[in-house]
Structure 1
Amino acid sequence: MENTVTKPSIPVGISACLLGEKVRYDGGHKRSKYCLDVLSECFQFTPLCPEVSVGLSIPREPIRLVGSAEDPRVVGVKDPTLDVTDKLKEYADEVSRTHTDLCGYILMKGSPSCGMERVKIYHKNGMPNVAGSGVYAARFMKNNPALPVEEEARLNDAVLRENFIIRVFTYYNWRQEVMPAPTLHKVIQFHSRHKYQLMAHSYEGYKQLGKYLAGEASKQPLEDVLEKYILDLMTHLTKRATRKSHTNVLMHIMGYLKQDIDAQTKQDLVEAIEDYRTDKVNLVTPLTLLKHYLKRHGSEYIQSQVYLDPYPHQLGLRNYI
């Protein structure tokens, strides 16, 4: 059955300025129309502004990263004696402790506190040095290595947008299906349903995790298995799926229909998949046709694959990749 949008249910952290809150250094905001008008239909946003939360005023003196990429300080642009580095790290630790329900996080690009990557770092003399991550974001991501994190600006890229939302829904599914009363059997069932989704992003990851669950996992403490599995899965899913990898998955899934469809139907499916591979149509075209025949002829196993409906179809993400 396809997912449907009901009410916001998936808890996702977000930089408060992206929800239109006037918390930026200049008293303004960076309202994200996509987050507010589209993603809010399925995400329950938790707005967070680390700069305000550590005591900086609105408006306030701008801050920037100074020093090395490995360990920059966050200091005032006009008054370098203003240093909120340690406070931002402590706040990241606090959010990690108090918001354990989060299944994703959307950050503000370029921020010395919230930027995920490519944030300017300066020498003490004010000259540009290298680029890195905002101090709060870096600490929070270190504390939560499996959690899906993305910058709002990168959601303008259709592939990155779909990638992030798939990771959020996968992480949410894990929290709902496995973690309330975890067992190795539940992990294996979860993996079985997510196999083709994983294959689309990383064939190597698909093989490695399958091998791990079939062997070594049964000899390890369950707590270790849970930690390793979800971290490895979410890491593999960060790899961008391509037309080539999607084509491979579509052909694998079509293999479950070969004995039940006639030659002409098979040819129609092959042509639709080839049109997708050669960039003539987007993913929704062959997938819609494939799902039509799977509903009639597909086994329970193949119909249960999350790849077929990884998120609410109303989001329309596969219309653009």
Structure 2
Amino acid sequence: MENMVAKLSIPVGISACLLGQKVRYDGGHKRSKYCLDVLSECFQYTPLCPEVSIGLSIPREPIRLVGSAQDPRVLGVKDPSLDVTDKLKEYADDVSRTQTDLCGYILMRGSPSCGMERVKIYHENGMPNVSGSGVYAAQYMKNNPALPVEEEARLNDAVLRENFITRVFAYYNWREEVMAAPTLHKVIQFHSRHKYQLMAHSYEGYKQLGKYLADEAAKQPLEEVLEKYIVDLMTHLKNRANRKSHTNVLMHIMGYLKQDIDTETKQDLVAAIEDYRTERVNLITPLTLLKHYLKRHGSEYIQSQVYLDPYPHELGLRNYI
């Protein structure tokens, strides 16, 4: 994986405890082996701990969410007069203003400040109520609707892991290819390269964004186009690609080879794609075969599709989906 280190250093925010920093309420940490030993090869982490950053001590009294799912307060478990809700929201606003280079964020599960979802919320009498998001995480995600955000524990799921990393690399590509010196032409070029990646996640999104760029974008201020496009793209990419949608994309891409390969090769490709669709093999198998023939016969347009190589192959993500 040395090549990834040389080529990439994508800025990603992360809950500091996941890097082994002893910042949790009990003075401990939640070191993530995957984040540190694998993703660190292509991610450059910015560790953040909102609870320490707003002045809470280590160790400290535990806090929890109290009230409604829509607007919970963050109160001390032993001393409910300790209310850090507003401080956590203000810190989320501050991070949003200052850490503008981030291309993703990995959060700690279950935290009343950092939990992305399914965080326990309590009634004032201490009885469990519903579940929701940590207050810092909710405010941060509201401020940054396009930014890829995921909980570390969910990265154990192969599909969710691949989905998050796909989004981080797409967002990074957007920053590098478009936002460095934005023009509508660059947005259209970016979309052209990401069309099949988008199709794998949302066929409706693929049609919708294509129509928007063709019919409406030129009539609108560039700033509005940039904001709408990236928010819509990243929202559509949140949808989990599955075997049916990947199969559809693989068949579309294979269509670019039909005039250049013989019948036996076509049958081999169709068989490999069918083996994937019926769960006999994982995505890497038909994709590797398809890429082999695309290198020989594929047009510049189809070879430029990000879907074929959305992230470094050393990550091995398509070996498991």
TM range (shorter): over 0.9
Which SS does the other structure have where 1:178 is aligned? helix
Which SS does the other structure have where 2:4 is aligned? coil
The answer as to 2:248 corresponding to 1:257 is no
1:55 alignment partner in structure 2: 55
Distance in 2 separating the partners of 1:228 and 1:97: 20
CA displacement at 1:70 relative to structure 2? 0.6
Which SS does the other structure have where 2:86 is aligned? helix
**One-letter identity of the residue aligned with 1:72:** P
CA displacement at 1:4 relative to structure 2? 4.7
1:15 alignment partner in structure 2: 15
The answer as to 2:18 corresponding to 1:5 is no
Distance in 2 separating the partners of 1:58 and 1:172: 34
Alignment of 1:134-213 (within 5 A): 134-213=134-213
Deviations 1:214-271 (A, max 9, x none): 0111100000000000000000000000000000000000000000000000000000
Distance in 2 separating the partners of 1:287 and 1:245: 14
Over the matched positions of the two proteins, sequence identity in percent amounts to 88
1:40 alignment partner in structure 2: 40
2:316 alignment partner in structure 1: 316
The two structures have a TM-score, normalised by structure 2, of 0.99
Alignment of 1:281-300 (within 5 A): 281-300=281-300
Distance in 2 separating the partners of 1:5 and 1:249: 27
1:127 alignment partner in structure 2: 127
CA displacement at 1:6 relative to structure 2? 2.7
**One-letter identity of the residue aligned with 2:5:** T
**One-letter identity of the residue aligned with 1:212:** Y
Distance in 2 separating the partners of 1:87 and 1:45: 24
Distance in 1 separating the partners of 2:100 and 2:179: 13
CA displacement at 1:180 relative to structure 2? 1.1
Deviations 1:125-173 (A, max 9, x none): 0000010000000000000000000000000000000000000000000
Which SS does the other structure have where 1:302 is aligned? helix
Distance in 2 separating the partners of 1:264 and 1:58: 66
Higher RCO (CA < 8 A, seq sep 6+): 1
Distance in 2 separating the partners of 1:6 and 1:59: 35
Which SS does the other structure have where 2:116 is aligned? coil
1:241 alignment partner in structure 2: 241
Distance in 1 separating the partners of 2:199 and 2:244: 11
Distance in 2 separating the partners of 1:171 and 1:289: 28
Deviations 1:170-196 (A, max 9, x none): 000000000011111000000000000
CA change 1:170–1:281 in 2 (3 A) is same
CA displacement at 1:201 relative to structure 2? 0.1
Q: Which runs of 5+ in 1 are unaligned?
A: none
Q: Which runs of 5+ in 2 are unaligned?
A: none
CA displacement at 1:56 relative to structure 2? 0.5
1:224 alignment partner in structure 2: 224
Distance in 2 separating the partners of 1:290 and 1:6: 27
**One-letter identity of the residue aligned with 1:5:** M
Aligned CA-pair RMSD: 0.9
Q: List structure 1 runs of 4+ shifted beyond 4 angstroms.
A: none
The two structures have a TM-score, normalised by structure 1, of 0.99
Distance in 2 separating the partners of 1:147 and 1:268: 39
Distance in 2 separating the partners of 1:4 and 1:104: 21
Alignment of 1:81-100 (within 5 A): 81-100=81-100
